[in-house]
Every structure is written in C-alpha cells, then in structure tokens.
Amino acid sequence: MRELGIGELARRVRMRPSVLRYYETVGLLPPAGRVAGRRVYPPSTVRRIALIKMAQRARFTLAEIRQLLDTDADRGATRQWRALAERKIPELDQFIQETQTLRNAVADCLACGCMNFDSCRLLSSDTAEHA
C-alpha cells in the first residue's frame, strides 16, 4: 500500500494536519518521511492514530500514550499496556462518578423549573458547597 500525504492522512483520521504535526513533535508519531519536501506516512499510521484517539478518550495523558507507544512489542508492550490500564481504571471510575454527579445536578436544575439563578434553592451557598 502506498504512503499517505499529510492531507490524505488527516482526512482519513478526521484530524487537522496541524494536530498530526504536533503529534510528530511530541513523539506520538515517528518523524514523517519526505517526498519532494512533503510529509508522507506509512498506512500503519492510521491504526496508530486510532490507538492514540482511543487512549485520549480514556483520559490517558500524552506522556502515558507516548510511553505506551515507545514500548517495543518484543520488550513487553502487552505488560506495559496492562500496567497503564490498571492504573487508569480507578481514575476512570472517579471521572464517571464526578460526571454522574454533574449530570444529576443539571437534571435537578431542569426539574426545579425556577429558571432564576439569583433565587434558585439548588444554587444556594449551602447546596453549592456539597456539589
């Protein structure tokens, strides 16, 4: 399969070329090859970016993602992934709990119906401290 120009790669992965250049700068993508001065990437880059996007949605930091991607398969990439994932699960559980609390607060505001922020009982200083 032929190499992909940065514009074509950006379209395939639904990202701006500037993000791809940034990923290259911070070490998430290996340096692109050059053809006539233009960046080109192997087709495998699409899969690598899919992994990066999934890891970002799972709230992995760029440093954690880089650590995962830097691990050579021969040197225990699966072990590295497991260790990172096991550390991330409690963080995700906390995020889910916080998000559920925020969702409930928004639902409570909708149910209140007062639509007046100055006098809303849900936004009183006593209630806001517990949120």
Tell me: the pLDDT tens digits for 84-97?
A: 889 999 999 999 99
Domain 1-70 CATH assignment equals 1.10.1660.10: yes
Q: Is the dihedral of CA 65, 69, 71, 73 positive or negative?
A: positive
Domain layout of the chain by residue ranges? 1-70
**pTM exceeds 0.75:** no
Q: Binning pLDDT at 50, 70 and 90, where does residue 73 land? A: low
Dihedral Cα 116, 118, 122, 125, nearest 10 deg: 170
